[in-house]
Structure 1
Amino acid sequence: MKPVELELERTIPAPIDQVFARLVDIEGHNDWMAGTKSMLKHTRQTSPGEPAVGTTFVDETRQGSMPGEIAEMEAPHTIVFHWWETSKSGRLTFEGWPSYHLQPSRDGETLVRHRAKLVSYGVWRLGTPLWRRLAVRERTITIDALKASFERQSS
């Protein structure tokens, strides 16, 4: 089975620097993702310092803890996160790469292209059609929550 790949676009009513800052603030995700029906319950940065390539985090989800890291970052245009899940025996079961590609838009707005790639391993590959539906749902919740966080701020 092929990896699940998708892309969503939203225009965010805020300048690119502000959108980028909100995305790289890992623990700040707890604020703007609160109250959504996301799998994410809480996230925390696990390495010291300002977010940069290699910064690590842990997402607490309904399915358990998932470690991750910032895989790519080019301020203020690109951030790529990488997370993974392992079985109790330590085998890799899932990997994901949610990314955000930002472009300044009209009137101080920002066009966000949110891409995601999900790879499942072993027997978990059989569930790829289900994982696709779940990934689209989860990524849509996330990008819509990001947009709503700026809409609330500007009203």
Structure 2
Amino acid sequence: MKPIEFEITREVRAPIEEVFARLVDIEGHNDWMAHRGSMLKRTRQTSPGEAGVGTTYVDQTRQGAMPGEIAVLERPYEIVYHWWQKSRAGKVKFEGWPSYNLESSTDGGTVVRHHAKMLAYGVWGLGAPMFRRMALKERTTTLEALKASFEQESR
């Protein structure tokens, strides 16, 4: 099974520490994530304490609840989320690893490289071309919402 992978890059007009803080604040995603054009309805951190490797969360989406965890966290340069969706029988149908790699730009902003990787298992793999289009749309919507959240603050 071949993974669905792509990368999107955007420049955000905010310092790297602020962009990282926004990305790692799971419950804060509800404040800036797109409410239109996205599958995500709400997200909720399900483990206590400050976000770190192993922190768990649940995304409420149009397709139902999708649990996940923080797989990699290197302040303020990288965060990798890992999510999955299971069938009623408990088998994993999909899993994904959306990651954000941040780099300070020369003008005081932040270059955000968003790498997305997704696997579809079993018969779900047959839908890979459609899932790739959906994932690209969702991830682009997310990055545009992140960028816009800082632009709205600077007005």
Q: Same fold (TM over 0.5)?
A: yes
TM-score by length of 1: 0.98
- Is this contact kept in 1: 2:10–2:112, CA < 8 A? yes
Aligned to 2:27: 27
5+ residue gaps, structure 2, are: none
Q: Does 1:102 align with 2:102?
A: yes
Where do 1:69-84 residues align within 5 Å?
Answer: 69-84=69-84
Aligned to 2:86: 86
Name the amino acid aligned to 2:22.
Answer: R
Aligned to 2:112: 112
TM-score by length of 2: 0.98
Instruction: Supply the RMSD in Å over aligned alpha carbons.
Output: 0.7
Aligned to 1:127: 127
Q: Which runs of 4+ in 1 moved over 2 A?
A: none
Aligned to 1:9: 9
- Is this contact kept in 2: 1:36–1:145, CA < 8 A? no
5+ residue gaps, structure 1, are: none
SS at match of 1:144: helix
Give the share of equivalent positions with the same residue, in percent. 65
- Is this contact kept in 1: 2:79–2:100, CA < 8 A? yes
Name the amino acid aligned to 1:15.
Answer: P
Aligned to 1:144: 144
> Per residue, is there more helix in 1 or in 2?
1
Aligned to 2:58: 58
CA distance in 2, matches of 1:115, 1:38: 18
Between Structure 1 and Structure 2, how many residues are aligned?
Answer: 155
Name the amino acid aligned to 1:81.
Answer: Y
